[in-house]
Structure 1
Amino acid sequence: MSSAILSADDLNDFISPGVACIKPVETLPKQQPGTDEDSNPYEVTTEDKLHAAAPPPPAQISLTDCLACAGCVTSAEAVLVSLQSHSEVLDTLDKAAELKLPWLQDGSSGGSGLEEKIFVASVSPQTRASLAATYNVSEREASNMISQLLSGPLGLRAGGKHGSGFTWVIDTNVMREACLVAAAQEVEHTSPTLKKPVLTSACPGWICYVEKKEPHILPHLSKLKSPQALTGTLIKSVLANKFGVSPEKIWHMAVMPCFDKKLEASRAELTSHTWHGQDMEAIRDVDCVITARELLMLAESRNISFPCLPRTPVSKTFAPPFPDPILNKMLFGRRVSKYTAHKLDEVAQIGTSGGYLHHILRTQQALHPGSNIKVHRGRNSDVAEYTVVSAQGREVFRAARYYGFRNIQNLVRRLKPVKASRVPGATRRPGGIRKPGGGTGTTADAEYAYVEVMACPGGCTNGGGQIKVGDVATLRQVKGTGSESGSLGQEILPAQREWLAKVDEAYWSASSASSDETDHDRETDDDEDMDLGMNETDFDTNDKPPTTNSINNISTPQIQHFLSHWSSLTGVNQEILLYTTYRAVESDVGKSGTAAEGSEVDKVSALAVAAGGGW
């Protein structure tokens, strides 16, 4: 991420697009009419004349336009992102003393006279997998090491001005389960304002791309919050209600696999205004997002050796129960299991991006007893089509997976609305739609009910904030691994693929743990269209058929009870807690000197020079 070299004093430049950017950059020479008497409008411009001309201005492509790769950000946007960093975490911990639980329970303050906050962290499973692969430990051990850093006596609490740490460290898998149940219900009971196919909205890179470049996709986007956003809403709404404190007193840090999650946390739709009312300043549900690499920088800044941290659970002295028995049992009283996947092929179909598509497919299978799930593989591993086929051989549900922007663009073209033809009485489509067999059909006979979309090829374990294979040797403090023979170019790609496979294996290692295992010390009560169907196979599901009450070890009644209790506890409608909105945003690319551009720079400048550089 290039934002580390930026400063608040340099906001108007544009970083050049990355070489792998899939958006074409137009740098045509600027016309200078009426200034050259010898100019000939019919003259062909040769290559040497073009090279002799003044260099074109920097390409003004930013995250507000194509988003997911780190090479296309403006300095202003990079400052917005860099304000959420490990440095902000340390600054906040040093500025505010920890508002500890005993003070909250008796309604009194700590009496220190300092600003006080309740610190809460949430950690994604992809981050834990990245750290587990880096240090050759299990996913469970990596989880314990993260908790020891954030909450334990040998972690952040051992230093800083106030010895502050995080009172709770929450696994976002809990809220992921809630998202999966809600997503299946959203697809089954599509509202009039949500068009099919319903498209996943958990990836902020994909969302930002749609809002800035493809607004015709907006009616298809799931309105469900991501696990990160939903966790933030839960933490702040419950703690503010339970302890009678302002949401501003609660500081929530999320540890996520990609930098785009920082932009998600900055959305105006994800603040206390949605659930706490607008009688006060909007407080973000997620105050700061850092990545796996930044988590290690957080430890290094306090001279803490992350690999030397205990691999055992944090003692209950530093991990008090959540202030509600039902929520505490949901968040900490059981080991959250991803999926019971017995074969490698099934693991590949579920993926490492939350399993939205797989859960919805299994839900549809439960709704149609005796049905099977068939997979139509695409030309690459990031594209596939799935159909639920009834016992009578009738197709009852169709869905797909599209990962990576090159594949996503094919999906976007597929969903473009019909354009009116210039020929009177006729219409035309933006292009032919490939059917699974390779033919071209109408939108109706190729329509999906649901599509899981992720910006990163390979899914979320391949996020931009994850630890890269080139950093592993340094982090382990050992000499480089791998063969020393051969050219560098020949070794990079195989090593990277093997590394991602190891991260994926760590991600799935949690599934091998017993589902009732608990923390014993915690108190509990390409650009061309992809042909689908090249290799059609039956989906290899578990021996036990799914039921509407239990899908992949996720109890739908239990999740519904949890959500209902949350709503009752806070007095906030469940729809408000679970769902959000999206909007079309007009791009300012190429509009140099516009009022909008100036206001953005002014806003970022004000943020960057604010005391402490935080939000």
Structure 2
Amino acid sequence: MSAILSADDLNDFISPGVACIKPIETLPTSSPPPSDPNAYEVSFNTERPIPQSDLPPAQISLTDCLACSGCVTSAEAVLVSLQSHAEVLSVLDAAPGLRLSPDGLGIENLDTGSKIFVASVSPQSRASIAATYGVTEQQAGNMIEQLLCGPRGLKSRAVYRNGFQWVVDINAAREACLVLGADELMGPILAEQGGTDGTNQVSNGEADIQSIKPILTSSCPGWVCYAEKTHPYVLPHLSRLKSPQALMGTLLKTTISRRLGISPDRIWHVAVMPCFDKKLEASREELTNEAWENTATGSVRDVDCVITSKELLMLADSRRVDFSKLPRTPLASRAPFPDAKLHSFLYPPPRWRKNGDAASGTSGGNLHYILKHFAAQFVGASVQTTRGRNVDVQEYTVTSATGEILLKGARYYGFRNIQNLVRRLKPAKSSRLPGGRPGGPVRKGAGKATGLEYAYVEVMACPGGCTNGGGQIKVDDPVVSGRQPSELKAGPQEQKAWLAQIDEAYWSSEDKIDDDGALDIRHDIVDGISPSYVKDTLAHWAATTGIDLKRLAYTSYREVVSDVGKKVGETERVIEIAGKIGGGW
């Protein structure tokens, strides 16, 4: 395993490395030359100078952490002061919020510093709340919405009575990512079969960047951050699609700013997510308004703040709101979203949208949807599952009616399994001899099936999936057990049983039905999702905002170069020393 990687606790908490690009020292201020001509005279005083004790503390932002390669991924030890429940309260109390006009299509007050507040909630966070309070996932979602914008929630004790104007379900963006992800995979496959010219012809050409087979999911920021810093050869395999969190942030910022005629910096978006790594994702330079509009006033994040499921409860406690006593019913009224078609997409009829079943997993179901979508293209095709070396490794094959293998995919959860995957993807070393063949040391099992034969791999940093994120409510939290922290003695088995309860809540959504109670009968339903409806909604979004869909839905990744562990030559060392003392270089 990598020397940077800690395998002591297989979750998304990786301790910081020994090096950080952010200095922890404060350089002394320059002082005027002394008037005493003997000020620099050598003395024999052996007393050491007393170090300055009032130095300001070092401030490390999440952007600094993304640029540093001393860490693998986020951790609680990283100073995340810019994204916390305290920051949410600070922004809410900074100034009166923007008010919508009666028709919901404009703003009445544009006071300096005023913002409009929106929130998005992940299904994993709702499942964590549902297991904690013994309610259904839908009721947990209602409680969260009541906290963020209801009369008995945060604004009941706020300075300016500010609350969130809209609270949306990230599942809407998840469905869009699933549909676009299937198209991203189908382009290369059709090219291999002679259906295209080899470029990424996905869904009318929304993406013009080809991901190399196998395509690896990129919705887990812990995994992406790890790949960028330690295995850059994996980056061409990463899916160029934004994660559901990032896509939802772009959708909200673009639509609200265009429809209401306000700048993106007047919109403040908070996401409730299951892990701390999502804070790092929100800080990426690629996920700002600079990606979808030309701006000269500085970048604005698509997601301004991320709080975890546990921090959501801390948010309620900070306002002295008893979360358990919040209403479990929907809000009596909700302001319409500025775009009617997108309102229907974000707020479908009750029980219309579901998280999936156990086969899809608790991390969005990327692979499961693609397998279903691909199998639907062939009459009689079926999906077979084979368990890997442990429960967090699964292999899948789509076979035809005659037994021919049409597609192979896999699911790799947890950093220990990710290590095995990236080793299989590592390119062979090229020979330095003239006419030599690429080669290297022969690895055990090199002749067997490797990850290179997969067409698509779902990769997540947390064992068990996103419901096991580091920001989820744990079984030993006082809110679950009702005991003091000193009395808690929860072991691995208790936590495993607790995770099973969260998973059960995640999958407990009822079947999709429409307003009349009849089963949804769209003609092209794949795993409960209509690709034609999703694509039509995305096309409407791009048309109304005047922004090409590939700028809205796709992103990029880059290698993070590290100096840690590298040998520094004498010339570089002299230049470094000279630079520190101002040596005229």
Q: TM-score range by the shorter chain?
A: 0.7 to 0.9
Amino acid at match of 1:585: V
1:396-444 alpha-carbon deviations (Å, 9 max, x no partner): 100101000000010000000111246662432465474xxxx833769
Alignment of 1:217-256 (within 5 A): 217-256=234-273
Greater helix content? 1
Contact 1:21 1:69 in 2 (8 A): no
Kindly tell me: are residues 69 and 333 of structure 1, through their superposed partners in 2, closer, same or farther at Cα, counting changes over 3 Å?
closer
What residue is the counterpart of 2:499 in the other structure? 500
Equivalent residue of 2:269, what SS?
A: strand
Structure 1 residue 333: Cα displacement: 2.9
Equivalent residue of 1:98, what SS?
A: coil
What residue is the counterpart of 2:294 in the other structure? 277
Contact 1:416 1:430 in 2 (8 A): no
Say yes or no: does 1:20 pair with 2:9. Answer: yes
Say yes or no: does 1:470 pair with 2:484. Answer: no
Q: Distance in 2 between matches of 1:581 and 1:26?
A: 25
Kindly tell me: are residues 566 and 183 of structure 1, through their superposed partners in 2, closer, same or farther at Cα, counting changes over 3 Å?
same
Q: Distance in 1 between matches of 2:425 and 2:163?
A: 48
Kindly tell me: are residues 578 and 431 of structure 1, through their superposed partners in 2, closer, same or farther at Cα, counting changes over 3 Å?
farther
Alignment of 1:161-560 (within 5 A): 161-190=159-188, 191=200, 193-316=210-333, 319-334=334-349, 335-338=351-354, 341=357, 347=358, 349-421=359-431, 425-429=436-440, 431-432=442-443, 434=445, 440-441=447-448, 447-471=453-477, 474-476=478-480, 478-479=482-483, 492-510=491-509, 512=510, 514-516=512-514, 549-560=524-535
Q: Which runs of 5+ in 1 are unaligned?
A: 1-14, 28-60, 342-346, 519-543, 599-615
Amino acid at match of 1:96: A
Kindly tell me: are residues 118 and 154 of structure 1, through their superposed partners in 2, closer, same or farther at Cα, counting changes over 3 Å?
same
What residue is the counterpart of 2:84 in the other structure? 85
What residue is the counterpart of 2:69 in the other structure? 64
What residue is the counterpart of 1:131 in the other structure? 129
1:261-307 alpha-carbon deviations (Å, 9 max, x no partner): 00000000000111121333111000000001110011000000000
Amino acid at match of 1:312: T
The alignment yields a C-alpha RMSD, in angstroms, of: 3.3
Amino acid at match of 1:122: S
Q: Distance in 2 between matches of 1:167 and 1:108?
A: 12
1:529-582 alpha-carbon deviations (Å, 9 max, x no partner): xxxxxxxxxxxxxxx9x9992211100110010000000010000111110000
Amino acid at match of 2:347: F
What residue is the counterpart of 2:100 in the other structure? 101
How many residues align? The count is: 494
Kindly tell me: are residues 440 and 136 of structure 1, through their superposed partners in 2, closer, same or farther at Cα, counting changes over 3 Å?
same
Q: Distance in 1 between matches of 2:396 and 2:353?
A: 24
Contact 2:10 2:414 in 1 (8 A): no
Contact 1:433 1:441 in 2 (8 A): no
What residue is the counterpart of 2:194 in the other structure? none
Q: Distance in 1 between matches of 2:493 and 2:347?
A: 39
Q: Distance in 1 between matches of 2:427 and 2:455?
A: 17
Q: Distance in 2 between matches of 1:200 and 1:102?
A: 41
Equivalent residue of 1:245, what SS?
A: coil
Q: Distance in 1 between matches of 2:444 and 2:15?
A: 23
Kindly tell me: are residues 264 and 336 of structure 1, through their superposed partners in 2, closer, same or farther at Cα, counting changes over 3 Å?
farther
Structure 1 residue 514: Cα displacement: 4.4
Structure 1 residue 339: Cα displacement: 5.5
Q: Distance in 2 between matches of 1:301 and 1:339?
A: 31
Contact 2:352 2:512 in 1 (8 A): no
1:361-420 alpha-carbon deviations (Å, 9 max, x no partner): 001101112011111111211001111001111101001010000000100000001112
Contact 1:252 1:288 in 2 (8 A): yes
Amino acid at match of 1:377: R
Q: Which runs of 5+ in 2 are unaligned?
A: 19-64, 189-199, 201-208, 577-585
Structure 1 residue 17: Cα displacement: 6.6
Equivalent residue of 2:493, what SS?
A: helix
Q: Distance in 2 between matches of 1:24 and 1:146?
A: 31
Kindly tell me: are residues 158 and 26 of structure 1, through their superposed partners in 2, closer, same or farther at Cα, counting changes over 3 Å?
closer
Alignment of 1:1-40 (within 5 A): 19-20=8-9
Contact 1:65 1:209 in 2 (8 A): no
Amino acid at match of 2:383: I
Deviates more, 1:332-341 or 1:319-328: 332-341
1:115-137 alpha-carbon deviations (Å, 9 max, x no partner): 21110000000000001000111
Q: Distance in 1 between matches of 2:441 and 2:9?
A: 26
Structure 1 residue 26: Cα displacement: 11
Equivalent residue of 2:292, what SS?
A: helix
Q: Distance in 2 between matches of 1:440 and 1:310?
A: 59
Contact 1:122 1:254 in 2 (8 A): yes
Contact 1:125 1:171 in 2 (8 A): yes
What residue is the counterpart of 1:589 in the other structure? 564
Q: Distance in 2 between matches of 1:340 and 1:19?
A: 32
Structure 1 residue 517: Cα displacement: 6.5
Amino acid at match of 1:354: G
Q: Distance in 1 between matches of 2:438 and 2:347?
A: 57
Kindly tell me: are residues 580 and 566 of structure 1, through their superposed partners in 2, closer, same or farther at Cα, counting changes over 3 Å?
same
Q: Distance in 2 between matches of 1:24 and 1:553?
A: 40
Q: Distance in 2 between matches of 1:296 and 1:25?
A: 27
1:337-359 alpha-carbon deviations (Å, 9 max, x no partner): 33664xxxxx1x31100000000
Q: Distance in 2 between matches of 1:195 and 1:422?
A: 26
Contact 2:414 2:463 in 1 (8 A): yes
Residue 547 of structure 2, aligned match among 572, 581, 585: 572
Amino acid at match of 1:427: P
Q: Distance in 1 between matches of 2:91 and 2:484?
A: 36
What residue is the counterpart of 1:143 in the other structure? 141
Contact 2:355 2:364 in 1 (8 A): no
Q: Distance in 2 between matches of 1:186 and 1:417?
A: 23
Contact 2:16 2:75 in 1 (8 A): no
1:299-338 alpha-carbon deviations (Å, 9 max, x no partner): 000000000100010121xx21111111111111324433
Contact 1:400 1:450 in 2 (8 A): yes
Contact 1:417 1:429 in 2 (8 A): no
Equivalent residue of 1:379, what SS?
A: coil
Amino acid at match of 2:556: T
Q: 4+ residue stretches of structure 1 with deviation over 6 A?
A: 15-18, 21-27, 591-595
Kindly tell me: are residues 157 and 477 of structure 1, through their superposed partners in 2, closer, same or farther at Cα, counting changes over 3 Å?
farther
Structure 1 residue 258: Cα displacement: 0.4
Deviates more, 1:191-200 or 1:582-591: 582-591
Contact 2:383 2:397 in 1 (8 A): yes
Structure 1 residue 20: Cα displacement: 3.5
Equivalent residue of 1:387, what SS?
A: strand
Percent identity, aligned pairs only, is 50
